[in-house]
Structure 1
C-alpha cells in the first residue's frame, strides 16, 4: 500500500476590489467595519500588514496570481473582456501554480469569478470549474441565473432602493455607472451566498471522496466590487451620517499628474459631495460584511468536516477600491495605497503562530510560489514570485530567515479604457516613488504623509531618496525583463 499523501489542503478565498483598511489591525475604518471571519483568521493565523498587488486592475492582477509573474511577464496588461484588451488570453503553455499542483496530484477546484482570459476558463489551467461566473466577466455558465430563477426572483427583477449612479443625477439610471443600491432579495439569493454554497458543496465532495490526494479549492467572490448592491440587514448596517471623510478626501491634485484630476470627470464623480460618497461607502462596507459572513460559513464547513487542521486557509484580494479616497471612484492610473495595498491572511495549522503579524513587504503573486512550496512542488523559473513559507514558519520575522528578505515592493499600470498610461512604482515602508511616463513623477513620504497628499518629487530635501528609489526601479526592471528597461532607465538617470 502506498504511503498516504500528507500534504495539506489549501483553500484560497479571493475577494474582488476589497480595501486593506476594512480588516486592518486598527484604524477608523477597521474599527467601524464588521469582519468577524477575517479577524478570526488573523487571530488563528498570520496577518500580512504590507501586502500589495502588482497592478490594480482585475484581469492583470488575477493573471499575475495565477502565473506568479508581474504583468509585463505574462502580457495581460489590462482587462481581457473589453475591446481594447491588449492581450485577451494568456499565452499557451505558460506555467501556472494550478497546472503545477494538478500535475503533482492535487485535486484543484474553482468557484466564482474568473476574468483571466476571454476564451479561456479555469479548466484550461488545471482546475475543475464548479460554476458561479457571470456574463459580464466570463459567461462560463448560467448556474447563478438558474438558481435565482428557481427561487422565484430572476436576475433583473429585484426591486432596488437608494440607488446611486455616477453623473449629474445620482438617482437617474439613464446615464452614468451603477454605483450602489439596496436590493429587495433575501441574503440567500445573493451571489455571495450562492458562491459560498458552491464552495461548501466542493468541500463536502472532497470530504466524502477517497481523500487520497489533497485538494486546492479557490473561491472567488464577486465583490465588494461595484455596484455595491446589498440586501438587508447589510444595506442599513452602516449609517452614512456616522462615516467620516478619509484624510485623502482633502486632495487638491496640486503637483500631481493631470490625469488624476481628469479621472474625476471620466468616472463621473466630479460632482459627488461627501453625503453621496458616505452613502456609497455605507453600502460598500455592507458588501464587505456580507462576504465576510459567507466566508464564515465556508470555514464552519471545514470545521464540520474535520478538515480545519489539515487545510491552509488564505484570504486576499486582487486589489483595492478608491470609494471616495482622493475623491475617486473605482481604480485607474493612480498608484495610491487605496487600490494597491491589499488584505492578506494565512492560517496553516501547526505552522503559523496564532495572531502573528508580518511586516515584511510581499506581493499578491507571491502566493503562486507559496502554494507550490506548500505542496512540495518545484517553482518554475518563469515565476517572479517568492514563497512566503519561510515567513510563515518564522512568525513573520524577516530577520529570522536564512536569506535576506527584500524591503520593497514593485507595481505597474498600463491604462484601461481611458487610454494607455505607463506607470511603474517602487514602495518601501517609508517612501513611494511612481514613474509616470506621460506626466510628472510622484514621491511620497508615507511616514509624514500617509494619505499621500503631498508630492515631494521636486523637494530638494528628498534628493537622496528620489535617486535611491529610481535606482531600485531600474534594477527591478532589469531583473524582471520589463520591456520598458530599454529606454526608461536613461530617462530616470538623467532626471535630477
Structure 2
C-alpha cells in the first residue's frame, strides 16, 4: 500500500504468541491434498485487539426475501460444490506483477508454491484491475464498483460505515470473517467492525517494534533512494508485518471457528522499498535478470508523466546492472511471499481443511519495475504491468489445472465470493461471478464472461486539493501532482483479447494490438 510507513505505527495487537525468526530455508512446494477431513472441535475463546463482536442482527441471511432495505436483492446462487458454504482464504500480496510469477510465464522467478497452487485451481490470464493504486483498487474489488461510480479515487478515501462491501455481506450471510490486518487498512474509521468479526494479529507483537530499514537521509536524491531500493536487510528484520501475519494465520488455522469462515491475509510484500533478507536476497542470479527495454522502444504515444518522473527521479543514471539488481531483489521479495503462501497452504492441508476451503490468490496492483526505465506506479498509469491481475482460485472441489483466457475484472470478486458462499446479493455492483465459468472450463467448455476489461485512474484539474501530500521518498511524486496536475489527468484503458485502447482527458489517445505490438515495453501479455 502506498502509505506503507503509516501502517507500521500506533497499533498494539494482542494475544501471546512467541514469534521466531523467518524460516532458514525455502518452503517446499505445497503438498497434494490429503483428503483428511477436519475434525470439528470446540474452539477456544479467542480475543484479538479490535475484536468487533456482535453488531446486532445480521442484515441478511441466505433465505431472506427481498425487502425495501435491499432493493438490489438477488437470491443466493448454487456454487456447484459438495460444500454449500466452503471456507475461504484470501491471500493478497501488495504490488505484485502478473509476470513475476512462474505460473504466468516467468521462467526466472522462483515461485514453486504459487505454481503448484495454479495446478490445483484455475489460473486467469486475462483478468484486470480497475485501478493501479492501493486504496482505489481495494475499494473497487471489495465493493464490486468502478472507482468513478463509488467515488473512491484517492488514497485516503476509504470505505465508510454506510458503504456495503463483500466482507460485510459474507458476515451477514453466516460467515465468520477474520481480517488479519490492522484496523482501517482500507476501511475508514468505525467501518472495520461492521465488516469483520475479528481483526489484527494473533501475536503479542506491536507494530512499532517491527524493525524497518532506512533511506539515506543525507543524500535524498541518490539513485538508490529514488529507486526505492534498500537491498539486503539484516536477518533481525525478518520478523516483519508479513511474517507476523503469516504466523498468526498458521495459529488461527489450528483452531478455526465452527461456522464457515473467511480468512483475509493482506501482505505488504513485494511493495517497495525493495529490500529483503537472506536467503531471498541472493536467490536470483543478477546476470540472468532480463534487461528492461529503454524508453525509445516503447511504441505509440508516451504520456508526459513517464519522461517527467524519469527526469525528476534522475533515473537516467541507472544502467542495465542497476535495473537487474532492483529486479532480482523484487523477485526475492516475491519468493518470500511464495514461501509464506506455501506455509499457509500446507497448514490448510495438514489440518484437513483443503476439501472444504476455497483459496484465492491475487494482488491489488502491479509495479513498473524498470519498464521504460520507470519505477513504482502512478495514479493515472493504466499499463498492463500495473493492472494485469495474477488471479488463481482453487480448492474445495473447484476444477484443477485450468487456464481461463476470457476477459475478467476484479470487480467480479464480489459476486464470485458470494456465489461460492451461497450468500444473497443485497446491494448494487457491476461484477459478474466467475464460478460458473470455472466449472465450465473444468469440463473443457468455454463460457464467455466479458467482452472488455476496464481500468481507470487519474483526476480532473479541479481535483488538485484532494491529491496526496506525502513525505520523502514520495515527495517528488506528490509535488508533481500538485504543481502539474495534468500529469495525473484522468485516464481510461479498455481492452479485449486483441486490442487495447487508452483515453486520456488531457493527452492524445492510444491504440495497440495486443497480438502484434510486441515491442510495447513489456505490456504485451507473457501468455501471448
Q: Secondary structure at the match of 2:93?
A: strand
Map of 1:19-168 to 2, 5 A cutoff?
A: 19-25=97-103, 27=105, 30-80=106-156, 88-112=157-181, 115-119=185-189, 122-131=192-201, 143-146=206-209, 148=210, 155-156=211-212
Q: Secondary structure at the match of 2:423?
A: coil
The separation in 2 between residues aligned to 1:247 and 1:350, in whole angstroms, is 42
**Residues 136 and 152 in structure 2, CA contact (< 8 A), matched pair in contact too:** yes
1:12 lines up with 2:12 in the alignment: no
Structure 1 residues 258 and 6: CA distance shift in structure 2, 3 A: closer
Aligned counterpart for 2:457 among listed residues 398, 404, 413: 413
The separation in 1 between residues aligned to 2:305 and 2:276, in whole angstroms, is 32
Map of 1:313-328 to 2, 5 A cutoff?
A: 313-328=359-374
Q: Deviations over 1:234-264 (max 9, x none)?
A: 1111122221214466545763222322122
5+ residue gaps, structure 1: 81-87, 134-140, 149-154, 456-496
**Residues 394 and 400 in structure 1, CA contact (< 8 A), matched pair in contact too:** yes
**Residues 227 and 375 in structure 2, CA contact (< 8 A), matched pair in contact too:** no
Q: Deviations over 1:83-109 (max 9, x none)?
A: xxxxx3334422111111101110000
User: More strand per residue: 1 or 2?
Assistant: 1
1:366 lines up with 2:412 in the alignment: yes
1:347 lines up with 2:394 in the alignment: yes
Report the equivalent of 1:480: none
**Residues 391 and 398 in structure 1, CA contact (< 8 A), matched pair in contact too:** no
C-alpha displacement of 1:395: 1.8
C-alpha displacement of 1:283: 0.5
| Deviant stretches of 4+, over 4 Å | 163-168, 247-250, 396-400
Give the TM-score, by structure 2 length. Answer: 0.72
The separation in 1 between residues aligned to 2:363 and 2:273, in whole angstroms, is 17
The separation in 1 between residues aligned to 2:504 and 2:214, in whole angstroms, is 44
Map of 1:350-429 to 2, 5 A cutoff?
A: 350-352=397-399, 354-395=400-441, 400-401=446-447, 404-415=448-459, 417=478, 418=481, 419=485, 420-429=488-497
Q: CA RMSD in A?
A: 3.0
Q: Secondary structure at the match of 2:119?
A: helix
Q: Secondary structure at the match of 2:90?
A: strand
**Which stretch of structure 1 is more off in the superposition, 224-233 or 105-114?**
105-114
Q: Secondary structure at the match of 2:431?
A: coil
Q: Secondary structure at the match of 2:163?
A: coil
**Residues 63 and 76 in structure 1, CA contact (< 8 A), matched pair in contact too:** yes
Larger RCO (CA within 8 A; separation ≥ 6): 2
User: More helix per residue: 1 or 2?
Assistant: 1
Structure 1 residues 129 and 268: CA distance shift in structure 2, 3 A: farther
Map of 1:192-207 to 2, 5 A cutoff?
A: 192-206=242-256
Structure 1 residues 248 and 15: CA distance shift in structure 2, 3 A: farther
Structure 1 residues 382 and 24: CA distance shift in structure 2, 3 A: farther
Report the equivalent of 2:263: 217
Structure 1 residues 204 and 395: CA distance shift in structure 2, 3 A: same
Report the equivalent of 1:440: 508
Report the equivalent of 1:452: 520
C-alpha displacement of 1:143: 2.8
Report the equivalent of 1:137: none
The separation in 1 between residues aligned to 2:355 and 2:287, in whole angstroms, is 43
**Residues 178 and 264 in structure 2, CA contact (< 8 A), matched pair in contact too:** yes
Q: Secondary structure at the match of 1:262?
A: helix
Structure 1 residues 250 and 370: CA distance shift in structure 2, 3 A: same
**Which stretch of structure 1 is more off in the superposition, 387-396 or 263-272?**
263-272
Structure 1 residues 454 and 370: CA distance shift in structure 2, 3 A: closer
**Residues 358 and 396 in structure 1, CA contact (< 8 A), matched pair in contact too:** no
**Residues 86 and 358 in structure 2, CA contact (< 8 A), matched pair in contact too:** yes
**Residues 180 and 280 in structure 1, CA contact (< 8 A), matched pair in contact too:** no
Q: Secondary structure at the match of 1:338?
A: helix
Structure 1 residues 69 and 166: CA distance shift in structure 2, 3 A: farther
Question: What is the number of equivalent residue pairs in this alignment?
Answer: 416
C-alpha displacement of 1:203: 1.6
Report the equivalent of 1:169: 222
**Which stretch of structure 1 is more off in the superposition, 193-202 or 431-440?**
193-202
The separation in 1 between residues aligned to 2:490 and 2:148, in whole angstroms, is 11
The separation in 2 between residues aligned to 1:94 and 1:360, in whole angstroms, is 30
The separation in 2 between residues aligned to 1:38 and 1:436, in whole angstroms, is 36
Structure 1 residues 253 and 393: CA distance shift in structure 2, 3 A: closer
5+ residue gaps, structure 2: 1-81, 460-466, 468-477, 524-528
